[in-house]
Amino acid sequence: MTDHSAQTKAERLISDFGKSIGIESLAFDEFGCCMLAFDDDIIINIAQEKANQRILFFAYVGSVVAAVTPYRTLLKANFYWRATGGATLSLDQDDGAICLTKPFGEEDLTPQELTAELEKFISTVEKWRDWSKEGQDSQETAPQDKEPIGTFV
């Protein structure tokens, strides 16, 4: 039996989330990560960032050829997280893969909120994965391009 008092908030959150989706043993590994697979082709990584008391979702969504237009589209999508659902697109320098990342404060999430945020994140991953697979020469149009960016006070 797990001693709840020795667990961090993130560890309890992942454990409770796992139980809510029928994975009784869901937990971070020794590196502070766990992976979930959806529809056999979407892998979502959940990482515990102990130093900042955050949980990170991240997933690889595809790759693009080294051309200006796709990178311009990715940068435009990142502007105020306009077409990323609040996540950030980046490029993995080791293999050129496009990565989508979204952080959350441990204290800001309940297992139910984690579930809702994960569903939104998966939807965003799917859209960007489809965009990267389209193979268009221009790849000018970003998914959710018309998503509002909010207002400033």
Reported as a pLDDT band with limits 50, 70 and 90, residue 6 is low
Instruction: Give the tens place of pLDDT for each residue, 121-139.
Output: 999 999 988 888 765 544 5
| Comparison of pLDDT for 140 and 125, the residue scoring more | 125
Question: Burial level of 88, CB count in 10 A (0-12/13-18/19+)?
Answer: middle
| Comparison of pLDDT for 97 and 140, the residue scoring more | 97
For position 68, what pLDDT does the model report?
58
Q: How much is the pTM?
A: 0.75
| Comparison of pLDDT for 148 and 88, the residue scoring more | 88
Dist CA 85 CA 102 (whole Å): 9
Instruction: Give the tens place of pLDDT for each residue, 23-80.
Output: 999 999 999 999 999 887 899 999 999 888 899 999 998 876 655 567 778 888 888 8
Q: Minimal CA–CA distance to 88: which of 125, 38, 117?
A: 125
Long-range pairs for 85-91: beta carbons < 8 A, 24 or more residues apart? 85/120, 85/121, 85/123, 85/124, 85/144, 85/147, 87/57, 87/121, 87/124, 89/61, 89/128
For position 148, what pLDDT does the model report?
44
Residue positions counted in the chain: 153
CATH class of 7-133: alpha beta
Amino acid identity for residue 115 in this structure: T
